[in-house]
Chain A
Amino acid sequence: MLEARGLSIGYGKTPIGAGLNLAIKPGEILCLLGPNDCGKTTLFCTLMGLLPAVDGTALLGGKPITTQTRAQIARAIAYVPQAHAPPFPFEALDVVLMGRTARLGAFAQPSATDRSLAHAAMARMGIGALAHRDYSRLSGGQRQLVLIARALAQDAPLIVMDEPTASLDFGNQAQVLAQIEMLARSATTDGRGVILSTHDPDQAFALNARVLLMHNGGVLADGARIAGADRCQPKRRVWLGRHGRNNTLGAPRLPAVIGRPFGARNRADHPLSPVAAWYQSFRSGG
């Protein structure tokens, strides 16, 4: 569906990451895992053609993304940016309706059908009651849910989410993660592809996602999906595991690739992908 071949990303001519290869298929959840400033958002923007690639190509449906119009791309990829504050007090429903733009003619207004689709998308995210509330006055978490509802209304086979849970409380995080998984795996939604970024490895487990470890703009490891992971890992232990050096509760240390700057470790050192290796040591040690 979406593919990157030898992609170099960055602003202007200086790449912040090079040689990126990835592909996502329908029904798949791809989780970009990495610290802040590792180029996740830049990669997203390049994949969606919002930012020109420094080198290499991004392919959407087999065709280079640069040859496609914005409307064509928007009908195939829905983008959920990090929650933001708009300058004007739009109703939440209006914001969701904007997801329909790619399916409207240039001079057209959203129709009654578009409105009911927007209402349905909001209901599905459990925020139907917010429809006529001022979007700019919603909490960060509510805004995030509105933006996800907008991506649903956009009705694209692929959804790209930039840190979708960053501004959410624990309950909303769980809700959003459950929705993401449903989007990809439920039979009724024809299995959309989802790419999301996070700096919380725990979410990759929770989503049973394929994990892409990023560091300094490069893909450090493309981990196979962690098959059959039991998703109820105690949060606390995983959290402590992320700061392995301070670990006092006996959880296993992280492999160096996660616990430290990733440095020069290559995949040869780890027959398993780092996350999988970490996960195995976690299970055997715990």
Chain B
Amino acid sequence: MGQRTTPNVGLHRPGLTLTGGLIVALVVLAFGAVMIGPYGLTPGQVVFALFGQGDQQAQIVVWHIRLPRVGAALLVGAALAASGATYQALFRNPLVSPDILGVSAGAGLGAMAGIFLSLPVAAIQGAAFVGGMAAVGMVMLVGAMARNTDRTLTLVLLGVVVGALAGAMTSLLKVMADPYDQLPAITFWLLGSLAAITTRDILPALPMVLVGLVPLALLRWRINVLSLGDEEARALGVEAGRTRLVVIAAATLMTASVTALAGVVGWVGLVIPHIARMLVGPGFGRLLPTSVLLGAGYLLLVDTLARTIAAAEVPLGVLTAVIGAPFFVWLLARGRRGWS
């Protein structure tokens, strides 16, 4: 018995240390991000402002500008990384990302339509969310009707098709949009940005992300089993179809709600789960929290860079691609533990 428990402790302790370390790093990073900006703050000012004391100006900066933005970056990064890790496990493919089922393209089309119709910001977010969910709904519906034995491949292909269709419609809207007013807004949104974030924008997205996260956390063992493929998962006692549907819906809910918030931010959901898998292995029970923490920290870092490295805001999607692409190439070349 003693022999059995010892390796267990050895197996879990580094995981906990890592999680703890990541949380501490995240807090430090968030604190730093609140300090940095055109209106620089000292650590003391930030602490005072957090407790509602001291300099009035600093309080406004912390509570109305920096914190919403830091919060949004954490939320978006965490949600994208979590759904990326989920899609990769579910589709048994380390190269898929949250966009795979046409989520981003659908959400993009929804937001475009909102901007094109000059709707208010909240309605644009709502339209983005509806667009993302509609794209995935369409993929799942057609996928369920298709008489193909390889369901996973069918879904991925349909995702590409629906994504391409939504992309075409988006292009059409861009051509038709008012070049002085709407087109810049569309372009900026397609590149992703947290520049205009307020607390009011985050509040509807936060519960959606949490609602999506709960089934993923609860079903973490079943998600491991599903990554062996549907047939084997069913032979092991998992109602693969139903479980897969719940898990995809949850991951899509997360992606769609943060895409509605921040626009199309690529690469996070692709790269972060790989780094997490290198750190803690493929077991979803540990992969999910690690991905969430890493994703949150990564996007916070990138967003802080986006608003500080140049006089004007650099679009978030541009930076995540510039950082993510070479990193991914490095991962591929190294390719030791990410996948077999």
Contacts and interface: CB of A to CB of B under 8 A. Distances in A.
A108 B235 contact: no
Contacts of A87: 92-94, 227, 339-340
Given A88-B339, A91-B281, A115-B8, A81 B219 contact: no
A81 B235 contact: yes
Contacts of B340: 85-89, 134, 136-137
A94 interface: yes
Contact of B228 (A69, A98, A154): A98
A99 interface: yes
Nearest to B5: A112
B55 to A, nearest CB: 48
Contacts of A154: 236
A23 to B, nearest CB: 21
Interface in A216-258: none
Interface string A148-174: 000000100000000000000000000
A121 interface: no
Contacts of B92: 86-88
Classify chain B's interface size: 35 or more
Interface string A73-111: 111010101000111111100100011011110111110
Nearest to B285: A109
Contacts of A116: 4
Contacts, number: 99
A70 interface: yes
Interface in B80-98: 89, 92-94
B285 A89 contact: no
A5 B7 CA distance: 48
B8 A104 contact: no
Nearest to A91: B281
Contacts of B236: 74, 79, 98-99, 101-102, 154
Contacts of B239: 69-71
A50 interface: yes
A110 B149 CA distance: 30
A5 B340 CA distance: 42
Given A107-B218, A115-B4, A116-B4, A102 B237 contact: yes
A71 B238 CA distance: 6
Contacts of A106: 218-219, 222
A104 B232 contact: no
Interface in A104-142: 104, 106-110, 112, 115-116, 119, 132, 134, 136-137
A76 to B, nearest CB: 10
B227 A86 contact: yes
15 contacts: A50-B235, A71-B239, A73-B237, A74-B235, A81-B235, A85-B340, A87-B340, A88-B89, A91-B281, A98-B224, A101-B222, A101-B238, A110-B221, A112-B4, A136-B340
Given A75-B237, A90-B281, A98-B224, 12 more contacts: A11-B149, A45-B231, A71-B239, A74-B236, A74-B237, A88-B227, A88-B282, A90-B283, A91-B281, A94-B224, A101-B236, A136-B340
